[in-house]
């Protein structure tokens, strides 16, 4: 954690990659930095002579640490009492996921230090671009398809334990398409082309922020939750029988206390449409979404500068559940906007990956559950 590796700012990436390379080698893995169009991927092969092989996907990059309220220097880190957890490492990357990466290696080293062999062969894949959408990972996978495809499972060590000790085990992840929508006078033929002008000119000059607001507003209902982009969620899978069974089991452990802890952690008073309990969990896990991550245009400072902005930008992400096709997202949003006359809004796809899911019956999932049980942790299937 003391080696910064902030991919959105391209800070310390290569240094951290080399550190991870050393870790992999220390574990006795045949390891190398695999160069890509972007940040290198650290790849380690640990042949334990076992019958099973797992790919351990992990990442060595983090987000920046600009948030207010850090109790420690996030790139120095410290052990702090964090009730109700006890002493915790607090640092950028302590979770999500340099902490888990190092924790996994610690476990492997402990096995070897006690004279045992690793129970499975490992293919360690640590990328340095997770926080910027993993643009180079597909290259790596393509170049190593044969080897990776022979593995029996993929495991991503990532912390997920709640205040009451409950451990979550995720059996899948939504896909994402991250888009940037932009409108400026230069591609609109209306509004100012190069810079914001005095706000009094609104009488005779079009305002791209108003126009973008109108375009966005066509995409959802008044609550911003119901999505009106035709066919965007058309193929979204409903939870199947197994999902419903797992949800029922989850419901038994999903106490009001746990729900309140979740609300407290995120500082939220209520969920969408007032859902609670298993309905909330179901919605969280099985609903595709259209989110505005950020939006800005014009004067954003203190006070009262009057401005007619020349440009407005919106960051937006679509989360995909099974059966949805990531490549369909941009064309459907394009079609939606075009059909309503918003041809002038440009859309740039910045990130795209597909959903994935694993059955809870899969031997790898069962092995993880067994490990949790043996350790005596409360578990809940997800």
State which of positions 173-232 bind a second copy (CB under 8 A). 174, 176, 178, 185, 189-195, 197, 199-207, 209-211, 213-214, 216-217, 220-225
| CB nearer to a second copy: pick between 43 and 211 | 211
Q: How far is CA 9 from CA 64, 132, 300, 315, in A?
A: 7, 10, 23, 18
Q: Does 299 bind a second copy (CB under 8 A)?
A: yes
Among residues 177, 208, 198, the alpha carbon closest in space to that of 289 is found at 177
Closest distance between a second copy and the C-beta of residue 316, in Å? 9
Distance CA 203, CA 209 (A): 15
Among residues 361, 367, 366, 362, the alpha carbon closest in space to that of 120 is found at 367
Site map for a second copy, 231-260, x if CB under 8 A? ------------------------------
Among residues 251, 265, 264, 258, the alpha carbon closest in space to that of 95 is found at 265
- Of residues 8 through 37, those in contact with a second copy by CB under 8 A are 8
| CB nearer to a second copy: pick between 152 and 351 | 351
| CB nearer to a second copy: pick between 29 and 216 | 216
Closest distance between a second copy and the C-beta of residue 227, in Å? 10
Phi/psi zone of residue 112: left (φ > 0), alpha (ψ -120 to 50 degrees), beta?
alpha
Site map for a second copy, 99-138, x if CB under 8 A? --------------------------------xxx-----
Judge whether 336 and 227 are in contact, CB under 8 Å. no
Judge whether 279 and 260 are in contact, CB under 8 Å. no
Distance CA 185, CA 362 (A): 54
Closest distance between a second copy and the C-beta of residue 380, in Å? 17
- Of residues 45 through 74, those in contact with a second copy by CB under 8 A are 63, 67
| CB nearer to a second copy: pick between 99 and 288 | 288
Q: Does 315 bind a second copy (CB under 8 A)?
A: yes
| CB nearer to a second copy: pick between 7 and 31 | 7
Among residues 334, 169, 342, the alpha carbon closest in space to that of 250 is found at 169
Among 37, 51, 114, 269, binds a second copy (CB under 8 A): 269
Judge whether 315 and 182 are in contact, CB under 8 Å. no
Among 81, 241, 304, 361, binds a second copy (CB under 8 A): 304
Residues binding a second copy: number (CB under 8 A): 84
Q: How far is CA 33 from CA 151, 198, 233, in A?
A: 20, 53, 39
């Amino acid at each position: 954690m003391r080696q910064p590796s902030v991919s959105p700012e391209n800070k310390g990436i290569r240094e951290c990659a080399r550190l991870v390379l050393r870790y992999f080698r220390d574990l006795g893995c045949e390891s190398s930095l695999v160069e890509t169009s972007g940040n290198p991927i650290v790849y380690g092969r640990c042949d334990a002579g076992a019958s099973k092989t797992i790919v351990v996907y992990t990442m060595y990059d983090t987000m920046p640490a600009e948030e207010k309220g850090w109790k420690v220097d996030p790139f120095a880190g410290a052990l702090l009492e964090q009730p109700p957890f006890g002493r915790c490492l607090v640092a950028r990357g302590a979770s999500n996921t340099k902490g888990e990466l190092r924790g996994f290696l610690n476990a492997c080293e402990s096995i070897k230090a006690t004279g045992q062999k690793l129970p499975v062969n490992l293919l360690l894949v640590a990328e340095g671009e997770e926080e910027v959408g993993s643009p180079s990972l597909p290259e790596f996978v393509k170049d190593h398809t044969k080897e990776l495809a022979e593995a029996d499972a993929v495991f991503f060590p990532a912390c997920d334990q709640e205040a009451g000790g409950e451990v979550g085990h995720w059996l899948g992840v939504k896909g994402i398409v991250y888009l940037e929508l932009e409108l400026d006078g230069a591609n609109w033929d209306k509004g100012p082309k190069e810079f914001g002008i005095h706000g009094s000119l609104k009488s005779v000059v079009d305002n791209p922020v108003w126009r973008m607001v109108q375009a966005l507003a066509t995409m959802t209902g008044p609550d911003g939750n119901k999505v009106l982009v035709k066919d965007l969620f058309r193929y979204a899978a409903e939870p199947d029988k197994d999902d419903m069974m797992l949800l029922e089991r989850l419901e038994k452990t999903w106490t009001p206390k746990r729900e309140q802890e979740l609300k407290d952690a995120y500082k939220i008073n209520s969920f969408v449409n007032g859902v609670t309990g298993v309905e909330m969990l179901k919605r969280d896990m099985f609903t595709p979404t259209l989110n505005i991550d950020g939006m800005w245009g014009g004067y954003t400072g203190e006070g009262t500068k009057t401005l007619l902005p020349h440009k407005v930008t919106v960051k937006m992400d679509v989360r995909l559940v099974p059966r949805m096709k990531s490549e369909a997202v941009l064309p459907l949003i394009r079609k939606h906007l075009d059909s309503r006359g918003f041809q002038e809004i440009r859309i740039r796809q910045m990130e795209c990956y597909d959903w994935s899911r694993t059955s809870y019956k899969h031997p790898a999932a069962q092995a993880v559950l067994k490990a949790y049980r043996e350790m005596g942790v409360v578990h809940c299937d997800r």
